[in-house]
């Protein structure tokens, strides 16, 4: 098995020539199913990211790397006390502020993982150069990732819900599983979708915002991967 982040980045343009929007939706669904199972067992993953999702030979997504995971028995979150390097740009506000990890912080990280998937391996917040305190302040003031090139509007709406400041306002994994189950059904019926993502790259079609996409799947209309929103 190879990790999804590696495959999505691909190193070479050829690696994405056969990936379809349906594949991105299917992987998102499979990851959500895995996370729903963990949540049902009161397990916090703590390090969900594309680099920790693996694809089998039949391209089924499997969640791995449980080095930061914890099982909750009597509490809804745990407070990290050990000094361990943390994946700053995948962390929820409460993780950065109070070192508190919960199923809801996994949901935030799931939203970041969706960004990686629907941008074909872009590094989150790659245009942002801030220290931890500055990054936390910017998140609290509404800084969020912008819509990835290949991301449908409704999927981006779900991502934004995963990044609510108040963790109680974030969707749960059961709702996310149901969303992608329905979304996959819709994508199967959409005969207008290109047969692969590379079609829209090679033909220089335009993205949802009217921005041209180059051969690497990048949007030529914006140099920033962040937006300001109200949360």
From 61, 134, 147, 75, select the one nearest 104 (Cα to Cα).
75
* Neighbouring C-alpha atoms within 13 Å toward the C-beta of 92: 31
Distance in angstroms (rounded) separating the CA atoms of residues 213 and 131:
31
Distance in angstroms (rounded) separating the CA atoms of residues 186 and 190:
6
Residue 130 is encoded by which pair of tokens? Answer: 């801030």
Residue 212 DSSP SS3? strand
Q: Are strands 53-55 and 2-3 parallel, antiparallel or unpaired?
A: antiparallel
Contacts of 164 (CB under 8 A, 6+ apart): 170, 231
From 230, 72, 115, select the one nearest 166 (Cα to Cα).
230
Distance in angstroms (rounded) separating the CA atoms of residues 38 and 70:
10
From 97, 60, 61, select the one nearest 79 (Cα to Cα).
97
Distance in angstroms (rounded) separating the CA atoms of residues 5 and 117:
8
Beta bridge partners of 212: 206
Known catalytic membership, residue 3:
no
Task: Determine which one of 3, 23, 47, 190 is catalytic.
Answer: 47
Catalytic residue IDs: 47
């Amino acid at each position: 098995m190879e990790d999804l982040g590696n495959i999505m980045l691909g190193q070479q343009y050829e690696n994405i020539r056969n990936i379809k929007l349906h594949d991105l939706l299917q992987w998102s669904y499979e990851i959500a199913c895995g996370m729903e199972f963990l949540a049902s067992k009161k397990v916090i993953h703590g390090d969900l990211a594309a680099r920790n999702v693996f694809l089998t030979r039949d391209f089924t997504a499997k969640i791995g790397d449980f080095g930061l995971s914890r099982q909750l028995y009597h509490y809804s979150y745990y407070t990290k006390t050990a000094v361990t390097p943390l994946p700053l740009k995948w962390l929820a506000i409460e993780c950065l502020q109070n070192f508190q990890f919960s199923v809801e912080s996994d949901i935030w990280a799931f939203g970041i993982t969706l960004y990686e998937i629907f941008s074909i391996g872009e590094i989150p917040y790659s245009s942002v150069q801030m220290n931890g305190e500055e990054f936390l302040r910017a998140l609290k003031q509404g800084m969020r990732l912008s819509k990835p090139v290949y991301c449908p509007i409704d999927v981006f709406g779900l991502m934004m819900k995963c990044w609510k400041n108040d963790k109680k306002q974030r969707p749960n994994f059961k709702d996310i599983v149901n969303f992608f189950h329905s979304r996959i059904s819709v994508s199967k019926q959409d005969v207008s979708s290109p047969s692969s993502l590379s079609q829209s790259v090679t033909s220089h079609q335009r993205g949802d915002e009217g921005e041209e996409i180059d051969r690497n799947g990048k949007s030529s209309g914006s140099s920033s991967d962040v937006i300001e929103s109200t949360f």
